[in-house]
Structure 1
């Protein structure tokens, strides 16, 4: 988290933007985007040119000139050259001393590519201009941050605009670099006869330009990240102030219902088991026996039959007695 805070800090973003601006300016003004060697026929020997030339009788020091029949690549010289966005310089083959002659790159560009070259230069200048505006905005933001602590909203707005300008400038610079390489390749194949690159490659200014683009995009992404973080934190603080957190209520607990006893079995069920007498409730007191002497059919010598009925479960036992036949009818 500490590393992220340092990366998102406005001073580091301002430093990255300034470095990107300086590298872009150096690459824009440098004539070393591409370098290589040309393939040019050997010139005639003159008073200032005595090596790598075709000997001509009648010149000074003609006695030291060796005439030879040269064929193939011996008829050509390979002077070095380097080219940039504005000018192209090559080695002077008409003098023994090392010197360069430079020409405007626009003069070497074919007519069909001049419009693309002008568009490329316009986009390069817009790239540098947008980076300059972004540097000014970030500088103002740092000044407001130190002088006025309460101007946080204005600082965030300046940070957002600087991030947009930085990213937009980086994209324009990337497209301009690619367009220039296309124009150079067409010029190398369809340019004038005295500009005939035999072999060429990228030079240090080309890599500096792409390094500036990388730093520029890093600065823009850091600025956007910082603005997004500050905006989200501000919204969260405002939401916490407007809607304070409420304590969560205790969760409602519903006790489970009591278990429902199973219904009693019917006596007709095959699984019905009658209860034993030990578990029966105490029986009610039996009523006193009735006197049956008044019955005419009563005979004390004949014992009356006794009936044994099953005892019901509720404990009541019916009493059967013999009536007294001796009483009046």
Structure 2
């Protein structure tokens, strides 16, 4: 395997890794993680769990039923004992939080949680993320196809230029998508429904994978463009230093540079020679020698 093909194989690996990072991040719901603080629900009997406020229904000894709507409930829990903290995580498509019995998660569509002010920003983020994945996939297909049909006439410079442009566009679109998602999430935190607003939140591992894909795209673009520029600079140098046959170039003899014989016929026994630069005075530029 020659050097050019080996370099492009090394370039293909980070592009595939960037594609895997983008696909994993887009399908995951761990872009943002945090804690929600909610009031404990009321228990309906004495066997309620730890995550609810206990109270018992009063019953008459005579067996008559009381109207629960007029009953007064005394709740002794105050301060932090009245609230429960539940972890949640959200992504592009859904938001999930822990259930009360801590046996699973309850998920709902994130698009339905985002208020009207952030719907457009979220859709732009999703569109930019899809275009980012499409451009990375195009770069993988182009580079893989050029390596599979490798031949001596394959134009590696055009492949490098195309891959560099695709990776730059993919990285920029990914950056825009991540920033727009952050904007839409902050809008949801401030203006979203009361039963969803988090108390504290931070970025999750999916968000880190998305930015890792951006870093890989930009690194591949810089490396490929550097290789393309170096190859373009070496082309004129190789043309100037090419082998040319030196013996084919006609070299005039030393006698032709200095002496030139007159073309007109001369009498027998006389030779007229023109000496350029030193004509004797009064001879009109010709010297007669017997």
TM range (shorter): 0.7 to 0.9
Is 1:12 aligned to 2:13, yes or no?
A: no
Mapped partners of 1:107, 1:25: distance in 2: 23
1:179 alignment counterpart: 180
Mapped partners of 1:237, 1:137: distance in 2: 28
1:118 alignment counterpart: 123
1:166 alignment counterpart: 167
2:110 alignment counterpart: 105
TM-superposed deviation, 1:132: 0.2
Note if contact 1:87-1:105 (Cα within 8 Å) is conserved in structure 2: yes
Mapped partners of 1:184, 1:242: distance in 2: 65
TM-superposed deviation, 1:97: 4.3
Partner SS, residue 23 of structure 1? helix
Q: 1:244 to 1:50 in 2, by over 3 A?
A: farther
User: Number of aligned pairs?
Assistant: 227
TM-superposed deviation, 1:206: 1.4
TM-superposed deviation, 1:242: 9.8
Larger radius of gyration, structure 1 or 2?
Answer: 1
CA deviations over 1:283-326 (Å, ceiling 9, x no partner): xxxxxxxxxxxxxxxxxxxxxxxxxxxxxxxxxxxxxxxxxxxx
CA deviations over 1:181-202 (Å, ceiling 9, x no partner): 1111111121101102011111
TM-superposed deviation, 1:18: 0.6
Alignment of 1:129-144 (within 5 A): 129-144=134-149
1:45 alignment counterpart: 43
Is 1:128 aligned to 2:133, yes or no?
A: yes
Is 1:81 aligned to 2:88, yes or no?
A: yes
Q: Which range moves more in the overlay, 227-236 or 9-18?
A: 227-236
CA deviations over 1:61-99 (Å, ceiling 9, x no partner): xxxxxx751222222111110111111101122xx2422
Mapped partners of 1:77, 1:213: distance in 2: 38
Mapped partners of 2:11, 2:223: distance in 1: 7
TM-score, structure 2 as length reference: 0.72
Listed as ranges, the gaps of 5+ residues in structure 1 are 60-66, 246-329
2:219 alignment counterpart: 218
- RMSD between superposed Cα atoms in Å: 2.4
TM-superposed deviation, 1:243: 9.4
Listed as ranges, the gaps of 5+ residues in structure 2 are 59-73, 247-290
TM-superposed deviation, 1:58: 3.6
TM-superposed deviation, 1:159: 1.8
Mapped partners of 1:183, 1:25: distance in 2: 20
TM-superposed deviation, 1:30: 1.1
Q: Which range moves more in the overlay, 195-204 or 40-49?
A: 40-49
Mapped partners of 2:48, 2:157: distance in 1: 66
Structure that is richer in strand per residue: 2
Partner SS, residue 76 of structure 2? coil
Note if contact 1:44-1:53 (Cα within 8 Å) is conserved in structure 2: yes
Mapped partners of 1:46, 1:15: distance in 2: 59
